[in-house]
Amino acid sequence: MKGWFPRGPQGPKAIILGLALVVAAWGISGVYKVQPDEQGVEMMFGKFVKSTEPGLHAWFPAPIGEVVTVSVTQIRQINIGTQTPEDNAKRFGQVRREADDRQVLTADQNVVDADYSVFWRVAKAEDFLFNIRNPEETIRRAAESAMREVAGRSTLDQLMTDSKEALQAEMLIQLQALLDYYGAGVTITGVKLLAVDPPKQVIEAFHDVNNARQDLDRQRNEANAYRNDILPRAKGEAEKMIQDAMAYKERQVKDAQGEADRFNSVYDSYKAASDVTRERLYLETMQEVLSHSNKVVIDKEGQGVVPYLPLPEIQKRANGANTSKGAK
């Protein structure tokens, strides 16, 4: 021990200088830098003190203090039911499907296998580090719970058709609310529903049902097309019949009105000169009747052989002669 301490008046100074250098080096080790995409978390004796923003900071060096930096801009992904080839490299890039965590029950009592991905990032580093023990496992289980809740209020058709986007948005809201309740310090940036398939045990029956549904949709579309073709024509024909009926009605009303006016005119004439009007009506009636009948004129004043004028035969001969001239 005697040889360790320096001798002479310079000995104590050298010791003090060495201690000062050690203290300075220890203090400098407490300087740290937070990158632009990170948040720093300062702890003293393992207890959270404060969080820091990007830039240079100084804190108590170990073992008194400790600093942990966490990326808050990196988008991370959790695949539920399906792993990407990168996640599953040990299986030569094959996709692995988990049965327990991907099965959900729909509102119409169908059990389906749902594959989906959750995208998230750290929002508050201190909550992310201290409020939950295993952040990724917590997010996974919370996502499964949110998916089952959303699927339980949706039908199979909604999960497999164009309603996917609305269901994804609803699931994102449910999942974010659940993680906020846990104080996980995580922001869910997106949820993507990758596939919804029936279990392997019933997939054949499901395909049969799906084919029948497609046939039903096809027949419904054909029926709608037939209806769209026949209804306008039927409406057009009905409208035409209505227009014809209205025209017939107007014509009949006008004819009846004309007959009534003619009758009133004749009646007025009859009241003014009944004998003349009666004679005129008789002559007009006889003219109308005789103009459409074959006529034979017999002179009742004749004696012996009855004089006979064959008017119908004369008329036929006259018509025949006119027809021959026209043919020539």
User: Which pLDDT score is estimated for 162?
Assistant: 65
* Structural domains for the chain: 10-71 (no CATH), 76-197 (3.30.479.30)
Angstrom distance (rounded) from CA 91 to CA 98: 14
User: Which pLDDT score is estimated for 178?
Assistant: 93
User: Which pLDDT score is estimated for 47?
Assistant: 82
Could you tell me which of 124, 243, 229 has the C-alpha nearest to residue 184? Answer: 124
User: Which pLDDT score is estimated for 189?
Assistant: 94
User: Which pLDDT score is estimated for 321?
Assistant: 63
User: Which pLDDT score is estimated for 15?
Assistant: 74
User: Which pLDDT score is estimated for 176?
Assistant: 94
Read off the pLDDT of residues 112-152 as tens digits, 9 standing for 90 and up: 888 899 999 999 888 888 888 888 999 999 999 999 998 88
Read off the pLDDT of residues 62-75 as tens digits, 9 standing for 90 and up: 787 787 888 888 89
Read off the pLDDT of residues 224-265 as tens digits, 9 standing for 90 and up: 999 898 999 899 999 999 999 999 999 999 999 998 888 888
The DSSP string of 246-313 is: HHHHHHHHHHHHHHHHHHHHHHHHHHH-HHHHHHHHHHHHHHHHHTTS---EE-TT--SSPPEE-HHH
User: Which pLDDT score is estimated for 85?
Assistant: 45
Residues of the chain with pLDDT below 50 are 1-5, 84-98
> Which pair of structure tokens corresponds to residue 295?
């006529």
Angstrom distance (rounded) from CA 75 to CA 119: 6
